Amino acid sequence: MEVEDRAQLCFPQFPNTSCRKPLSPWPETLLINIMLYSISLITVTLNLLIIISISHFRQLHTTTNILLLSLAVSDFLVGLVIMPVEVLRKTLCWFLGDFVCATYSFIEGIITASSIGDMVLISVDRYVAICDPLHYTTKVTGRRVKFCVCLCWLCSVSYNFLYLKNLLTQPGRYNSCYGECVLVIDNISATIDLVLIFFLPVTIIVALYLRVFAVAVSQARAMRSHITAVTLQLSVTPKAKKSELKAARTLGVLVVVFLICFCPYYGFFIAGDNLLSALSASFVIYLFYCNSCLNPVIYALFYPWFRKAVKLIVTLQILQPGSSETNML
């Protein structure tokens, strides 16, 4: 009996302090791991294509695409780092040590916060483009967008350093036994995190897109009417706005999918561990991470330039001299 118990321990040499191995049928575990690692690989590949596309082709260096590039970097890191480690953490004993556990929690927090920040910036970008189109080019410049993106990542790093300071200074302090990687947050910190990372960004995103939707509907009606003299005199403006409306619809789909994947993730923490099973908790966590795989799919469905860029990348035509000047629009 003692031999059997020791075989179930993560660290048999420490029988009194070792965690027990996660017990689940190996066919089920193998199937889940194959599926999740496949999603991770697809996420890395698709987002890498976006990063190469926007970075390489000069015509794609627009202010909106800079924000999409930052989001793609976050999604790329989710597939490269967070998904594989999360699968390891949920299905096996943690053999990587307390320092790696603390570092992983820190990196996960940075990537999550930056993704949310990127979504807020995308919503602001569409709000200005639709609600104040005449001043869009002067208000939303490449330099300002790059500054906002850098500020977003800097704030994410600073916030998570303060939020996880105790874990970073004392790795493993929340572990009840050897072989696990857990993070315990007190009620005050959890409430602050919930407000800053969930309620405030979601409120801003929903409010801006409701305003964008209302203005887009009114503009679409005005573009169809063509009755007043003002409409005739400004016939160039509706034509210019048409592309902005299309971009707003595309990025609106992006934001809606993000909210669908994002809200259950934080709803899990609001509900608490006692109201959700371990399977349900794992599902909402993986659903949130799968959003990083869905974003490139949305680009492929709605952006012709992305499909064209993928074709040029896959066929290695981007290695030819002057390929960065290719007409992508």
pLDDT band at 277 (very low <50, low <70, confident <90, very high): low
Average pLDDT over residues 71-77: 95
Q: What fold characterizes domain 27-219+228-323?
A: Rhopdopsin 7-helix transmembrane proteins (1.20.1070)
Question: Among 117, 88, 116, 85, which residue's Cα sits nearest to residue 103?
Answer: 85
What percentage of the chain has pLDDT greater than the value 70?
Answer: 84
Residues 6+ apart with CB under 8 A from 282: 90
Q: Which residues of 240-265 are buried (b: 16+ CB within 10 A; e: fewer)?
A: ebeebbebbebbbebbeebbebbbbb
Domain ranges of the chain: 27-219+228-323
Looking at the whole model, is its pTM more than 0.75?
A: yes
Per-residue pLDDT tens digits for 110-119 = 999 999 999 9
CA atoms of 121 and 140, how far apart (whole Å) = 11
Q: Angle at Cα 21 formed by Cα 20 and Cα 25, nearest 5°?
A: 135
* pLDDT value for 156: 96
Identify which has the larger pLDDT, 93 or 219.
93
pLDDT-based confidence at residue 272 (cuts at 50, 70, 90) = low
- pLDDT for 2 equals 47
Residue 31 · residue 67 · CB < 8 Å: no
The predicted pLDDT at position 287 comes to 84
Residue 238 has pLDDT above 70, yes or no: no
* 181 compared with 52, residue with greater pLDDT: 52
pLDDT of 255:
82
DSSP-H helix ranges across 174-325: 187-194, 200-225, 229-233, 236-271, 278-302, 304-314
Residue 132 has pLDDT above 50, yes or no: yes
What pLDDT score does 109 carry? 92
The residue behind tokens 């800053």 is: 196
Band (pLDDT 50/70/90 cuts) for residue 192 is: confident
CA-nearest of 97, 70, 68, 73 to 85 is: 97
Q: What proportion of the chain, given as a percentage, has pLDDT over 90?
A: 33
Amino acid identity, position 62: T
Phi, psi of 186 (to 5 degrees): -70, 165
Q: Do 132 and 70 form a contact (C-beta atoms < 8 A)?
A: no
Answer yes or no: is pLDDT of 124 > 80: yes
Please, which contacts does 263-268 make with residues 24 or more away whose CB atoms are closer than 8 Å? 263/202, 264/288, 266/194, 266/197, 266/198
Residue among 119, 104, 306, 291 at smallest CA distance from 197? 119
Per-residue model confidence (pLDDT) at position 276: 55
Asked if residue 216 has pLDDT above 70, the reply is yes
Q: Yes or no: say if 68 and 125 are a contact pair by the CB < 8 Å rule.
A: no
**pLDDT digits over 6-32, tens only?**
557 888 887 778 888 777 677 777 887
pLDDT single digits (tens) 42-58: 999 999 999 999 999 99
Contact 282, 90 (CB under 8 A): yes
pLDDT at 232: 45
Average pLDDT, the chain: 82
What DSSP string runs through 51-85? HHHHHH-GGG--HHHHHHHHHHHHHHHIIIIIHHH
